[in-house]
Structure formats: C-alpha cells, structure tokens
Amino acid sequence: MNIGDGEIVRVNDKYLFKLSSFDGNPIVKPEDIGLVWKEAGKEKRGAVFNGGAGIFQGKTMLLPRCHKNYKRIKFFDKEKGFERYGMENYVSEIYILSSDDGTHFSIYNNNPIRGDGSEHKDFLYGIEDIRIIRHKDMFYLIGCGKIKPPFKGGNADRIAIYTTKDFKKIEYHGIISPFDARNTTLLFTDNGIYVFLRFYPNINVVKLPDIEFILEPDKHTEWWERQEEQQEKSVLLKTGDFPHESEKIGIGTQLIPTEKGWLFIYHSVGHIIKEITDAYNLKKDIPRGYSVNAALLDYENPMKVIARSQFPIYIPNKPYELEGDGKYPIDVPNVVFPTGAILKDEKLFIYAGAGDKYEVLLTANIHYLLEYLLKYGQRP
C-alpha cells in the first residue's frame, strides 16, 4: 500500500505543498455500500462523502454522509449571483464504516444515524458532515442537522450533537438552535474546551465554560446567542486573504495534535488561479472551487495562529473531483471537502468528499507538512 508523503512544488518565486492522492481513490463509492437504485430502467448511483474519521479499537472509523433516490438540479443562487448544482428530494443519513488499514471500508454498524424525524423532532431533513472528536473514552460526533429541505432556502443548518463509546449505541444531545451554522468541531486541551465553528464567511473559535454547553445545549441558549452577537471578537481566520478563499472558509477535520502545535485542516471556496492549477497540470483556472488548506495553531492557546498556508494544499484535479466523466459522474463540480483525519505513525490521512459523491483519501508525511507551514506559511 503506497501512502504518499506529499510534496513541495515551486510556483514562480513561491512554494506550495501538495497532498498525495491515494492510488485507490475513490476509496468509497456509492455502489460499494448499496447506494444504488433503478430509474426508467437505468441504474442510478447515490452519494457517499464528507466522512468524519477517527480511531476505535485499532480500526479506522469513517462516518460519511449518504443518500440516494434524489434528483440532481441546477439553480440560480440569488444570494451569490451565479448558477449552482445541488440535489433535491432526499434526506441524508450517516453510515458507520470501518477499516483495518484505513483504505478499504465496509459497513460496521448497519444502523445509520438518521435525521428524518424517526429518532427526534429537532430536525427532520437530514444529518450531514459529522466530525469525530475523541476525548478519553468518549467520541463526540458533531454534525449539521437540517431544519429545512436542502437547497430550499437559507437558515436551514443547525449544529447537531451526538456521543458514543462504541459506534453502536449513539446518544443524541440536541441542536444549538439560535443560529444557522455548520462545519463545527471541538478541541479538548489542558487549558479548556474550545468549539470551532463557522459564522459565515469566517472561522471562529470560542472557549466553552463547560462541556455541558455542548451536551445540554438547550439549557444554554442565551450563551450561544451571545456568541453569534459577539462573533467579531472570536474570529480565528478571515475569508478574503487569498483568491481561493474569496467566497468563504470553514472547518475541515478535527484538529490534530503535533509537536509544533495543533494542525488545523480547513476548506475554502473561491477562485483557484492558474498559478495554482498549473502545479496540478490542469489547463485552466477554476473560477469557483473548494480546496483543502492548513493552519498551525499554538498548542497552549489554540486561538493563536502560528502559520497559515498561502496556497491550498490540495485542489480538485481528478475527474471525480472536477466535472466527472463516464466512469465517475459527480453531483457538484470542483469540490474536495476535508472532514476527517487520523495520524498513523508519521503519516497524516485526510478523508474528504469529492464531487459531493465519493470519499477520497489524501496523505502526507506530517513532518513535511509542518516544516512547510513553518517555513513558507503566512505568519500573523
């Protein structure tokens, strides 16, 4: 099994880091886990993507967002002023997969996490994009609960909170109800507990008074309301510093502890300029694309940025990440969306959604990536 180290590439007088794309990508396809159906006599494939990742009893656990029996649509986004692709007539659920080697996955617990109203009534239109955060013997599963049908209007996303010790019995704790938000993760440190969230279009970080504020969010609605009202005070990373971050940025994976600080993998949306696409041997720029980025945060104070990548560390460049092809049709073009990460010895495994349809694996030698950030990253 070839797990790449990543590489540094010179771009004019600058340098960018490129994560390695695993040779067996996509590592999970819809048909691998039964997400297929027939329509007008033709076989249709669903979607499995944006899987949070963690280690449990030596296995790599992957919790991707899954759906089928939906229709792909194209619509004009009035807020953003351009056409977009999306899906309708579906309710996402979270499948629980596991792997012995981190690359070959199968269903671990044939009982998905559902967001269709069958288990609670806080949200009814799907659960998406769960991050896995381990603290002692507990796994915190932080996702996005949809209170409105997808692609049917704004103010539809709520932070949804679950916990588990074994990925079989999963306890639901509710949603953070006061504001629209998705892409959230937790960080447990010796100095306290931090929540990383996206107050559109930036990334914010807030120190929690107690874990109860996550486990019993309904009791602390006023506190959460204040965080939204005072969001200017908690900005960690601002959008707009680079062309590829011109539209928005958001949480990627859970944070990874390293000898140099907390490694923070995040995503961005914006214009991926030709200077960057040239490094991936693409013929043109990407006017609007999702990319993978990295920052290094202070180990004692994760509200402090040590360094931040000036270029993406990965961009869409394969058919299943770009426009799709006959072998790999996609649902949304130009998307790579990091959601889970694990560290195996010196290798960083990043699990990402591709084309809103597949799960892919990106890798790097952790020391190479840290050295790159410290040498070439943007300093505050």
Residue owning tokens 């886990």: 33
- Residues of the chain above pLDDT 90, percent: 91
pLDDT of 7 reads: 97
Q: What's the mean per-residue pLDDT of the chain?
A: 96
What does residue 325 show for φ and ψ, rounded to 5 degrees? -150, -170
Residue owning tokens 């692709």: 85
pTM of this structure:
0.97
- Residues of the chain above pLDDT 70, percent: 100
pLDDT of 222 reads: 97
3-class state of residue 212 by DSSP: helix
pLDDT one-digit tens code per residue, 84-100: 898 999 999 999 999 99
Average pLDDT in the 326-344 region? 97
Q: How does residue 331 score in pLDDT terms, banded at 50, 70 and 90? A: very high
Q: How does residue 12 score in pLDDT terms, banded at 50, 70 and 90? A: confident
Average pLDDT in the 34-42 region? 93
Q: How does residue 154 score in pLDDT terms, banded at 50, 70 and 90? A: confident
Residue 133 has pLDDT above 90, yes or no: yes
- Tokens representing residue 250 in the block: 């958001």
β 127-135/106-113 pair status: unpaired
pLDDT of 186 reads: 98
Identify the bridge partners of residue 20 per DSSP, sorted by sequence position: 363
Structural domains in the chain, sorted by start: 7-376 (2.115.10.20)
- List, as one string, the DSSP characters of 266-297: EEEEEEE-HHHHGGGT-SS-EEEEEEEEEEEE
